[in-house]
Structure 1
Amino acid sequence: MKKNIKTEDTIKRWDNFAETYSKSHTEQGDVHKEIFLNPTLFSLMGTVKNKKILDAGCGEGYLSRLLAKSDANVTAVDYSPKMIEIARERTPNELSIHYIEGNCEDLHSLEDASFDLIVSNMVIHDLENYKKTFKEMFRLLVDGGTFVFSILHPCFVTPGSGWEKTENGEKLHWNVDNYFYEGAYEQKLGNTEKMVYFHRTLTTYINTLIQTGFTLECMVEPVPSKEMLEKYPSFEEDFRCADFMVFKLKK
């Protein structure tokens, strides 16, 4: 666990990892986004046609492109310059997406009440100052606007969590540790890169959102659909432990 790590350090790591990360993404994102997150996000967002949407932490831009193809008016921001570069390269000219390099903790270049909907897909746990981020999302939404975001499940994906296995590699159970630790920790992503995540408890997330002024409408712990299990049968194991949590909030 790394108490002294700041958002600036995560930006550098994501910039270095951007090319490798993007190679794992198709137009549906990576396999976890395809199976778990996309169906949940689009279900919670509802109709996006003609809505002004902020993709807060767009990465290589797959979600922005899906939204633009659904006739949304999309602005996409990411704190990694390399990610923004890749997102622009991957976006066809006919898709009008406004890409901005910026940190979701401080988006002062964007005006108050600019968006009908904000979606942030697997980003909040990459940010040190989550309180300021939530305040920024609240500021940028119109009254009655919707904020949908996904994160690693804070109850199960914790510093030191992982599968307990037999000598033959059989998965016995999922270990959880250090749940009440709040702060930065390193986690291996891919073959070599160690990324930084910021862990918080579920209590901290919900209370901070309420204190910011949001109304919690829905929480979802995504599981694979029957159709996805037919395509990816190995993900049957994800009924044993939740990997992700998705929130829908109103301003």
Structure 2
Amino acid sequence: MASQNPSLTPWDKFASTWDEGMGDEGNDYFRYLELPILEKLAKPEEGFRALDLATGNGLVARWLAQKGAASVIATDGAPAMLDYAKARTEGAGYADRISYHCLDVTSQASWDEFIESDFGSTGGSFDVITMNMALMDIQDLGPLAKALRHLLKPNGCFVATLLHPIFFTSGASRQILVHEDSETGEHSIERSIVMTRYWNVPPAKQMVFPGRKAETPYMYHRPLHQLFTPFFEAGLTMDALEETNFDESFRDPVREHSSKNFTEFPKILGFRMRRVAGLVSN
């Protein structure tokens, strides 16, 4: 079944490309920047119940199961992604603890269906809800924020990671300056970013699938206050914030413009949200 949401069509169409790039263990961004945030902020304990949103090929869902989750519901709005996630799980010792559900986090109707299903019918039932690298792909965070308030246990947490808005989604330019020492003749390189906009940045194409520019999905830039406000308005509070970056050991000597070479600027932003104590879900 193909996705009904046009914004999800590229993810459905090129799910095989995404799966090939991520594999079983993920890319450098996942292993060295995103996973450390998930480890630090989710702090999963044996026997917890988890929900993984925008699971892709199931990287985080598999990690949650391996960390001792009693059950993990892996969701994605692109059915083809779920097919690859299932295939990556087949034969694993924890496979019976992961179930799959097609869920479009941008759609209130899709959330209503999920909450009324056997998966989410018992409100406040998840210890950990994760969303790895998807918030910048979502035009409206309202339905997600309201659903989290309903689905999280009082002591549960929502942990999300996304491309850092300062380095990536703002559209900042990367600048490389070569300095020559007049005394020694030696060259030194200085890297910086030039931001011309941060407050009002229109949606932009993200080159997720090389060579498919016309079909690549949009990403949505949000200043930090716009990113967090929907969650605060839904009755959630933030109690942890993390920024991660590549260090000098990842420097790319061939591609000077590579994001890995800009070691002074964080690449990934992560945060943790919890339900405000005493607030009852509607």
Task: Report the counterpart of residue 280 of structure 2 in structure 1.
Answer: none
Task: Report the counterpart of residue 210 of structure 2 in structure 1.
Answer: 191
- Match for residue 264 of structure 2 among 240, 246, 249: 240
| Corresponding pairs, count | 239
- Match for residue 172 of structure 2 among 154, 161, 165: 161
Task: Report the counterpart of residue 62 of structure 1 in structure 2.
Answer: 59
- Match for residue 114 of structure 1 among 112, 115, 125: 125
* C-alpha distance 129-236 of structure 1, shift in aligned 2 (>3 A): closer
Q: Following TM superposition, by how much is the alpha carbon of 1:165 offset from its aligned partner in structure 2, in angstroms?
A: 4.4
- Match for residue 77 of structure 1 among 64, 67, 75: 75
Contact 1:60 1:86 in 2 (8 A): yes
TM value normalised by structure 2: 0.77
Quick one: which amino acid aligns to residue 58 of structure 2?
A: G
Contact 2:245 2:263 in 1 (8 A): yes
1:214-245 C-alpha deviation (Å, 9 max, x unpaired): 111110001347xxx65x44476342211111
CA distance in structure 1 between the aligned counterparts of 2:190 and 2:51, rounded to whole angstroms: 39
Q: Following TM superposition, by how much is the alpha carbon of 1:159 offset from its aligned partner in structure 2, in angstroms?
A: 4.5
Contact 1:41 1:148 in 2 (8 A): yes
- Aligned-residue RMSD, C-alpha: 2.3
* C-alpha distance 236-156 of structure 1, shift in aligned 2 (>3 A): closer
Contact 1:28 1:63 in 2 (8 A): no
Give the 3-state SS of the residue equivalent to 2:220 in structure 1.
Answer: strand
Bigger Rg over Cα: 2
CA distance in structure 2 between the aligned counterparts of 1:171 and 1:30, rounded to whole angstroms: 27
Give the 3-state SS of the residue equivalent to 1:148 in structure 2.
Answer: strand
CA distance in structure 2 between the aligned counterparts of 1:191 and 1:182, rounded to whole angstroms: 23
TM value normalised by structure 1: 0.86
Structure 1 segments, 4+ long, off by >4 Å, are none
CA distance in structure 2 between the aligned counterparts of 1:177 and 1:48, rounded to whole angstroms: 44
Quick one: which amino acid aligns to residue 98 of structure 1?
A: S
Is 2:247 the partner of 1:249? no
CA distance in structure 2 between the aligned counterparts of 1:71 and 1:162, rounded to whole angstroms: 42
Q: Which runs of 5+ in 2 are unaligned?
A: 115-119, 179-188, 253-258, 276-282
Give the 3-state SS of the residue equivalent to 1:100 in structure 2.
Answer: strand
* C-alpha distance 67-238 of structure 1, shift in aligned 2 (>3 A): farther
Task: Report the counterpart of residue 41 of structure 2 in structure 1.
Answer: 44
How many percent identity over aligned positions? Answer: 23
Task: Report the counterpart of residue 228 of structure 2 in structure 1.
Answer: 206
Is 2:143 the partner of 1:143? no
Q: Following TM superposition, by how much is the alpha carbon of 1:202 offset from its aligned partner in structure 2, in angstroms?
A: 0.3
Q: Following TM superposition, by how much is the alpha carbon of 1:212 offset from its aligned partner in structure 2, in angstroms?
A: 1.5
Task: Report the counterpart of residue 35 of structure 1 in structure 2.
Answer: 32
Quick one: which amino acid aligns to residue 158 of structure 2?
A: F
1:93-145 C-alpha deviation (Å, 9 max, x unpaired): 43221111111234222222121110100111111211221111221111121
1:26-66 C-alpha deviation (Å, 9 max, x unpaired): 32212101110101111111133211000011000011111
Q: Following TM superposition, by how much is the alpha carbon of 1:171 offset from its aligned partner in structure 2, in angstroms?
A: 7.2
CA distance in structure 2 between the aligned counterparts of 1:14 and 1:45, rounded to whole angstroms: 26
Task: Report the counterpart of residue 103 of structure 2 in structure 1.
Answer: 102
